[in-house]
Amino acid sequence: MLSLFFVPLITIGLGLIESTFLLFALYIVSGIGMAGIGMGIMHDAIHGSYSKNRKINKLLGYTFNLIGANATVWQIQHNQLHHTYTNIEDADDDLNAPFFLRFSPHAKKYWSHQFQHIYIWFFYCLSTISWVTTKDFVRIKRYHGMGFLKGKNEFRNALIEMVGWKLFYYSYALVIPLI
């Protein structure tokens, strides 16, 4: 999955592609690799089930940072909140959504939700942008307030690490391709 994600990006970044069709095809392949990192490698590694070796699981969990998200925030959100409070309103962060999306029968219902099955796909496409720009920052602050990141040092270190990984991601995903 890592190769499926990075090889197309490197190929594009080196300027080896002149065909618009091939360019889009490589971005699609890279997107499939990104999904594979998130749903396969990272998910299992952060659950501690990718390998019997804890260090390998920790290392592979960081692949989430390579695709712009944050492994520490996801570990709290998914392992501690989602699996502890699965589908419990206001406790499972997976149910928190903007007003135009409804993931729980207990969430307030709007007339637009009858069309959610149509328009949700557009917003799913945009969710990565939200995740790599704002979502992790909002969540890390909230999780610190909830006591998951105890003390100023743990919070500060997690925040510095997140900013560093985000800068690395923005560099290879946005800055370098524009040069």
Print pLDDT tens along the chain (179 aa): 889 999 999 999 888 888 999 999 999 999 999 999 988 899 899 999 999 999 999 999 999 999 999 999 999 999 899 888 888 888 888 888 888 999 988 889 999 999 999 999 999 888 889 989 999 999 999 999 999 998 889 999 999 999 999 999 999 888 888 87
What was the pLDDT predicted at 176? 84
Q: Which of 123, 82, 88, 125 is nearest to 104 (CA)?
A: 88
What was the pLDDT predicted at 40? 87
CB 169 within 8 Å of CB 5? no
CA atoms of 70 and 51, how far apart (whole Å):
20
How many C-beta atoms lie closer than 10 Å to residue 112's C-beta? 12
What was the pLDDT predicted at 94? 83
Q: Is residue 40 classed exposed, middle or buried when 0-12, 13-18 and 19+ CB atoms within 10 A define those classes?
A: middle
